[in-house]
Amino acid sequence: MSTRNAHLEIGGMSCSTCSGTVTEALESLPGVEEASVSFATDEGTVTYDPERVSLADLFDAVRDAGYDPVSESATVGIGGMSCSTCAATNEEAIGGVNGVIAVDVNAATDEARVEYNPVDADLTAVYAAIEDAGFDPVRETDVAGEVRGERDGDNDADDGTRQSAAERELARQRRLVIGGGVLTIPFWYLMGGMFGLYEVPASVAGIGLGWIEFAVATVLMGTLGRVFLAGAWRAWSNARDVNMDTLVAIGTSAGYLFSTGVLIGPIVGYPLVGDFYFEAVAFILWFITVGNWLEARSKARASDALRELLRLSADEATLVDDDGTERTVAVEEIAVGDVMKIRPGEKVPTDGVVVEGESAVDESMLTGESVPVEKEPGDEVVGATINENGVLLAEATNVGKDTAIQQIVERVREAQSRQPDIQRLVDEVSGIFVPVVIANAVLWATVWALFPETLAAFVNWLPLWAPVGGGPVAGGVSILEFSMVVFASAVLIACPCALGLATPAATMVGSTIAATNGVLFKGGDVLERVRDVDVVVFDKTGTLTHGEMALTDAVPVEDGEPTSHSRTAGGGADATPDGGVAVGADGDEATADDSTPRPIADAETRLLRAAASAESGSEHPLGKAIVEGARDRGIDIEEPDEFENVPGHGITATTVLGEVLVGNRKLLRENGVDPDPAETTMERLEREGKTAMLVAVDGELLGVLATADTVRESARETVNVLRERGIAVSMLTGDNERTARAVAEQVGIDSDRVRAEVLPEDKADAIDAIQADGSRAVMVGDGVNDAPALTTAHVGIAIGSGTDVAIESADVTLMRDDPRDVLKALRVSEATIAKVRQNLFWAFAYNTTLLPIASLGLLNPALAGFAMAGSSVSVMSNSLAFRRWTPDTDYRFLPVRPLYRLFD
């Protein structure tokens, strides 16, 4: 079964209850494996089987739940159609594009009407599908795209210019804030009179002040209030659910209806004693709308960094054709294999590999590293990075949605939609929160109505302020009025948004910080797990070391002993330029007299030639080092006739010299060759931290080759910091014990935490053994050879991925090959979860403190609405507080930073 991932932008969600409703609606569809919806980002990720459920079904499910999934529609002209069969062919081709929701092709008008998900698809993909089907899409002025229900569309997918759901919500809330602010101006004037600043007339132009308040409040209920009333009705009618909109709708409706009753009661013959609360209704609606606007603004700001990455992409590229002709094209027209010319100061148009030229490229926008990275032929370049100096020719390798930037954005979106485990508890609390709040409000309103004097006496006894309006006693307000005040305040003071935003808001900011510093988390659950690790296990080659092996020693063995004149192979000055040997028909060296001892150069040449010829077809770093070392020494290398890799042991090959073995002791013994004559040399080289390999031809031991890899300068620093944090550090390697221990000693890893000679398929077992005592291990490897170990570990980190950021086996992907980025992952995890806990503390503290105060009649409904608005804004603000922090150092909560400075 093949699955797809759909990324949806969803409008209309007002709290975590809404995101839960959407998740339930999606997961109820047959064929949906998993759905995760984030209220903080207004986005969701759905994993589904396209053979059982369509993308259109997903969108319909969200709409049926009462929310608005963002889609775009466009009309595309198609040339070359002659009949209905052509139309059906195009419908099938366009419908097969990932992200297309619906398509209707009209053969009479030669047009296709396409509805698509702008997050996952764009018109470029639609054009390509039409062309692949053998027809001609009209590209020029054919698009009159329009976003469903909101705005006109464009031809781009998520290139940073398309307005996101969060930005559209921000624009909508801004309009509501401005309009509501104008309508509340009369009530600000009334507030001045209430505070005795001036005298307010009883009527204006003969119209009683109460009727004017009623008129303005009615308009506010029909504009600002309609948003909450519609949200409450949508939640109840579609899912029999209640949410924040329900609380606002109930609270404001109670105040509005009571005040209306007081106003019109005498007219209809049922006078109702009480004051007007139209001003409270107005301020409640406007305060909460302002809070929603600030919340939407915070959401948009939180995703700015990612959208800025997309906006940094180049618009045009200079392509070089095979005849050397240069032409300028739009970036969207670049195809894999095109050669791009990148001049100094220009942006790299798309991912590629340098084929000519040398330069330094600024990759800080991806990795956070300010120092430009030197590039030469064979090196990768990433789209949107900046060429500092020198002209580069690069062959495009990834285009469109396959580029590193697009993959990073997709990875971060997935991380933001997958929440930490702590969110499950929050979701359970949020699920019952609103019903409990409503029940609490009803309970206390009833108790106040039944026992007003007793409760008033108790509240007046408390060392707090007086009840609203003096309470339901003589000189105060009526019992019905006070019960309404308690009910409205107890409903309005509760804020499920603060609870719902606590985790996703922090996760959104944390994952964005990580991405802009070259660290990509697969999900918020991974963010939570990283901080809990007890041991970090590093693969040696390419992680703690540079992984760039170089041939250092060539020691021939003659007559069963290492030659006394063997030397370290440091260059090619003494090497015979042409290889120095003639090859007989049997593959052995032909000499005039076999009893005559060979010169040392001939023995060394034969050793290097045999090994390099055997390894010339190898992609392994050790094999490449032998081949490059032999070439540097001027030795001729032949291609092997047959080649076999023996994982963890070495290689066997058939060459013109005979059957060649290159590898460890076990490989030679299993093939009937005694490695003992070279044992002393092997041990000496291994003690020096080199990787020693035996070479044999046709059962004869020729000698020993050694390669060495330099330890990264940052490796020891990383190990020391991890140990200072109380985290144990281990090393896994397929290398021999002596070499492994030598490297471990250089970087500061205890020898008893080194596991050497571990085959790739056995690394997962080694991780299991490390975790057998309950330890939670992080495995840091290359994401390919170490895939089983990465999957087995508590957290798998793939290091040095370059442009390949979508490594399935890794929970965390590091774009650079610097082990210090492991520390960045730990710091981001700790900072993010610390923010989650701070947010949750504030949300719970706010609700548990102010709910009793409102229930005791000590809080005016208008102030309750103001507090409700402020609580969710405070959670978003706290999350954004570390948006500009860089994970090169530990994050410190602002109020306690002076203490750290004092004791550091």
Please identify every residue annotated as catalytic. Answer: 539
Q: Which of 598, 557, 554 is nearest to 580 (CA)?
A: 598
Contacts 24+ apart (CB under 8 A), 582-586: 583/656, 583/657, 586/658
Q: DSSP label at 396? A: E
Distance CA 843, CA 830 (A): 20
In this structure, are strands 777-781 and 795-798 parallel, antiparallel, or unpaired? Answer: parallel
Cα–Cα distance between 515 and 518 in angstroms, integer?
A: 5
Nearest by Cα to 521 from 824, 276, 731, 290: 824
Residues contacting residue 418 through CB under 8 Å, at least 6 positions apart: 36, 45, 522, 523, 524, 525, 526
Length of the chain: 904
User: Are β-strands 728-732 and 535-539 bridged in parallel, bridged antiparallel, or unpaired?
Assistant: parallel
> Which sign, positive or negative, has the C-alpha torsion 774, 777, 783, 786?
negative
Nearest-angstrom CA–CA distance, 797 and 184? 54
What amino acid is encoded at 475 in this protein? G
DSSP three-state, residue 377: coil
Comparing CA positions, the residue from 785, 807, 799 lying closest to residue 519 is: 799
As given in the structure block, the two tokens for residue 775 are: 């330890």
CA–CA gap between residue 356 and residue 339 (Å, rounded)? 10
Helix (H, G, I), strand (E, B) or coil at 93: helix
Beta pairing partners, 798? 781, 813
Question: What string of DSSP letters covers 801-846?
Answer: -TT----TT-SEEESS--THHHHHHHHHHHHHHHHHHHHHHHHHHH
Using the structure block, give the residue that is written with the tokens 């370049």: 381
What whole-number distance in Å separates Cα of residue 359 and Cα of residue 376? 7
Encode burial over 785-821: b for 16+ CB neighbours within 10 A, e otherwise: bbbbbbebbbbbbbbbbebbbbbebbbbbbbbbbbbb
CA distance 675 to 704: 10
Q: CA-to-CA distance for 835 and 789, rounded, in angstroms?
A: 31
Cα torsion for 722, 725, 726, 731, to the nearest 10°? -10
Q: In angstroms, rounded to a whole number, what is the distance separating the alpha carbons of residues 42 and 299?
A: 9
Parallel, antiparallel, or unpaired for β 111-116 and 146-147?
unpaired
Helices (H), 269-357: 278-302, 304-311
What residues does 319 pair with on adjacent strands? 327, 340
Q: Supply 457's token pair.
A: 């006496």
